[in-house]
Structure 1
């Protein structure tokens, strides 16, 4: 008699417990059902439905154009695939930086319509009241500090953040404020590794790094970058585990050649 294995969902409590016992947290982005299913089967802890879909799916230079409707579409596809991983989704630019009420309604709509388990918001003390309102509604929130892509025009480039003392001190204050507001984790993007280590040690909640060194409690990458699907994008922090752009190009070129030569379909590939 076979017994079905019970798959235990990764939750905010799971993530916090992983920090306490020193177990690293794995996170990758995912934007569609097929990719999310593969990532979930791989044992990933968190699938981030990032607003980076604006870049890797739609071809925009920044994350700013993606809308709440777009993010709900991507998040719902991922949520249907993931049976173990936590599904964390970005609230897009413009949906939470304004009034507390607008942020609250955007967060509630995302949770109701997408089936996601938690939200990620970029920023610190400037949006702390908005974050508190969302958390008070029972919605888990992950913060995001350092390089915050939704503020790219303010920064001027995608360089390393918080290299100077004033910005580093603000980042540390923001991280503590996010923790006290009730965030269950915080992403640290493109900051010096020593600063990330200091922040990680100062917090009770986990830190997830991207270009922030090995001392963070976990790591996240854009899955298209990690798989080598993004052409000509190789920042210092990126480790490519495959080179799918070249492999897909070669496979498609072979298909074109087979069709042109009438080699495909052959007798075994037709009815």
Structure 2
């Protein structure tokens, strides 16, 4: 079994550990490094995993060292990891879940040739339904990507892209849940506006979104084809879609993705 050290016990780090435990990982193969003493005690009590306050302690003997910290904490963690001989007799991979930090930044500070894999998860990993995108660094081989994909598959679907596409990934799946939540908010407000209770409106909207997503995933049909199948000429859906198009909803989402990508590029430049 792959031994995993998670550096950072926040929501994302905890979600990964919980997903791995649910997937059958042995507690002995998991360790968390968490700087905050109260949070560390809470994680240890609830999850039963070993929690240490030192990244170097957690990383020693691990196959995957997963960084789930804030960008501002990266240098501190790398300094701590420098206290041990990373790699050594054991092949290790650094997996970065840190937004906006390139693999080259790690490679410049780690031992020569150390494999790094950059990861962009999104918040549905908290419920085991994340979209996790991985990008290899200069020294990451196909076997490393396979191992990382197998481990992260415990909390969602995994796909691979080139690192120069990560800003676009951030704009689509990284920020994407917020777009979906905004649509849900608007639909719920509209439902309440036509006389439904908040509770009923929420139930209808949430299940409609879940069902629509399942159809997209399982039917093999395009969004355009599925929408057309619901939209009878002259019917209620046609009237609604016409209003959405008139309001520029389609172009607004396209512009939103472009804006998010540009912001991600600027953040990435600021962290280098």
TM-score, length of structure 2 as denominator length: 0.31
TM-score (normalised: structure 1): 0.32
Q: Select the structure that is richer in helix.
A: 2
